[in-house]
Chain A
Amino acid sequence: MKTQAIGGVVIGLAGIAGLAGWAGASGSAVRTVETAAIERADSYEVDNVHSNVIFKVRHIGASNFYGRFNDLSGTVGFEGGKVTSADITVEADSVDTKNSGRDKHLKNADFFNARQYPEITFMGTSSDGVTLTGELTLHGVTKEISATISDVGSGEMRGTPKMGFEATFTIQRSDFDMRGYLADDLSDDGPLGNTIELTVAIEADG
């Protein structure tokens, strides 16, 4: 009788332990699923087709000229409807100003020197949801810049969750050792201005 009681306790303990183990395993599985869902929700891949990088520069003091880059990639982090991070790479060779002669000139030694510096990169370091700060590497020079974030939005396309935003910032190209066609006083009154205004409109896939 005593033996049976001990056996029952052992079986009961084993059963409790097994149940607890099952419950633990089940709880872990649930947590993993939740974490993955959060990670998927946070990290988005840049959709090159629906994203743009546009720049504006003063031309011979007379007008503002706009150009764009056609190839970009990277990842963007979102949390609570805010941009938390962005690591973006732009192919310098993809500059497009609607004139192939000018595009060749922009790619060559006078400007982007795209054969030596094929990529323009931005590595975000911090964000408060309104201002995204990070390191911009352009023409082989890395500088910290801050971009203003706006128009954060979300949507869905053929079942793929989408997030998007627009970032604007301004650089002085002389800071990035791009000396071609600059005014002596580094103002915007030279053949080409020193100030470059950039707008980065990103759409990213979840």
Chain B
Amino acid sequence: MTMETKLALFGGVVPGAITLGVLVLVWRVLARAEEQHEPEREGVRAWIGPVWAGPVLVAVALVLGDYTKHGWPTLWPDSNVYRYPHALGVFALAGLIEAFVRLPVWGAWCVRAVAFAGVFWMLAEGYHPGAVPTPWFVGLMGAGALGGATVATMADRGAALLPGWRAPALVGVLFAGAGPIVHVGGLSYGMHAAAPMIAFGVAGAIAGLIAPRLTLERGAMTAVVGVVYVLMIGAGVQTEALSVASLVALGLAPGAFGLAWFVRTRRPMARVGIVAAGLIVLLGVSLGLAMIASGGSSEEEEYDPFARASGAGTPRIAELAVARLRGEDDGLDEHRGRARRG
């Protein structure tokens, strides 16, 4: 199986099908059964459905995407790069705690902070103290825990106000931007994480049309922000950071979901529009900063890490966008032509 077939299948079709199947089944069957058992009272959110499915599905999607790059995960690999599925296991566990245990906002924040700190350790301990000296290691772990938990809390509160197709569709938008950003930043894994997350978002949006009360609050958004955090560590610690500012903007992007919480409006589409605008602005800033920092030589532009054997199109789109910004698209097109002929 070629790399592009593998990515399309395990990074797109399979996670999408699993997400769609499970969400439709869970939210149509289990949710209805629970509704009958505990009918919602007017004005009181007595029940928010089988939310445990969300974090599990996000983790499954990332494991499938990771497979396309690293093969099936092993129990505890020495290379920190191979621990992305393990990191999503931690975020899924935190999400399940949120789903099954009714915690106050600060309680859920604490659970998330522990998860973000733990994941930083998992993915960065091999780089300490060589590439990341102790003060930086401790500082980044603390900042990641505080920032990650806060962004995840904002995303969770916002997702509560974006039921049905809305939040999953916006998750798709988030990763359609995040993948190319970290790719430009030097982490080709970005596409292998973004593809299954976009599939999750699209499938979740379809499921949300079938089950309008589907929600990504209480767990799923912690895992979604977790995937972004994994990409940030991949592009900022495991790979020498191309642009710290770009990574910070990327890290803040999921917080745009929180705009639905801050901006008081009763119109659901207005909330979607506000969150989408926030996401596009933050992702645009992040991509722009990454492109400026990538600045590189024509020699670097000539190198195509996906080559012909992988053929993933999106990185080429990102490269084309960079070249167009610089007014060098003619040369890139010529290069693409050469690559095809080759």
Contact = CB atoms under 8 A, between A and B. Distances in A.
B81 A109 contact: yes
Interface string B137-158: 0000000000000000000000
A40 interface: no
A116 B234 contact: no
Nearest to A115: B131
Contacts of B297: 100-101
Interface stretch (B38-46, B102-110, B182-190, B256-264): B182-190
Contacts of B313: none
A101 B187 contact: no
A104 interface: yes
Interface string B268-312: 000000000000000000000000000011011111010111100
A105 B188 contact: yes
Nearest to A191: B309
Nearest to A105: B305
Contact of B299 (A101, A108, A118, A182): A101
A74 B1 CA distance: 42
B187 A116 contact: no
Contact of A101 (B1, B302, B310): B302
Contacts of B6: 184
Nearest to B189: A109
Contacts of B82: 177, 179
A139 interface: yes
Interface residues of A, number: 28
Nearest to A174: B71
A99 interface: yes
B interface, size bucket: 35 or more
Interface in A173-206: 177, 179-182, 184, 190-191
Given A108-B186, A116-B238, A101 B301 contact: yes
B305 A99 contact: no
B239 A108 contact: yes
A150 interface: no
B238 A99 contact: no
Nearest to B131: A115
B3 A191 contact: yes
B127 interface: yes
A181 B303 CA distance: 15
A110 B300 contact: no
Contact of B240 (A61, A101, A115): A115
A109 B307 contact: no
A67 interface: no
B21 to A, nearest CB: 26
Contact of B307 (A60, A110, A182): A60
A191 B307 contact: yes
A100 B307 CA distance: 16
B309 A60 contact: yes
B126 A116 contact: yes
Nearest to B3: A191
Interface stretch (B52-60, B72-80, B169-177, B322-330): B72-80
Contacts of B300: 99-101, 104
Interface of A: 59-61, 99-102, 104-105, 108-110, 113, 115-118, 139-141, 177, 179-182, 184, 190-191
17 contacts: A60-B308, A100-B299, A101-B300, A101-B302, A101-B305, A108-B240, A109-B238, A113-B80, A115-B130, A115-B238, A116-B126, A177-B82, A179-B69, A179-B70, A179-B82, A181-B309, A182-B71
For the complex of A and B, list the 6 residue pairs with the smallest distance between their C-beta atoms, beginning with the closest: A101-B300, A101-B303, A191-B309, A115-B131, A109-B81, A116-B126
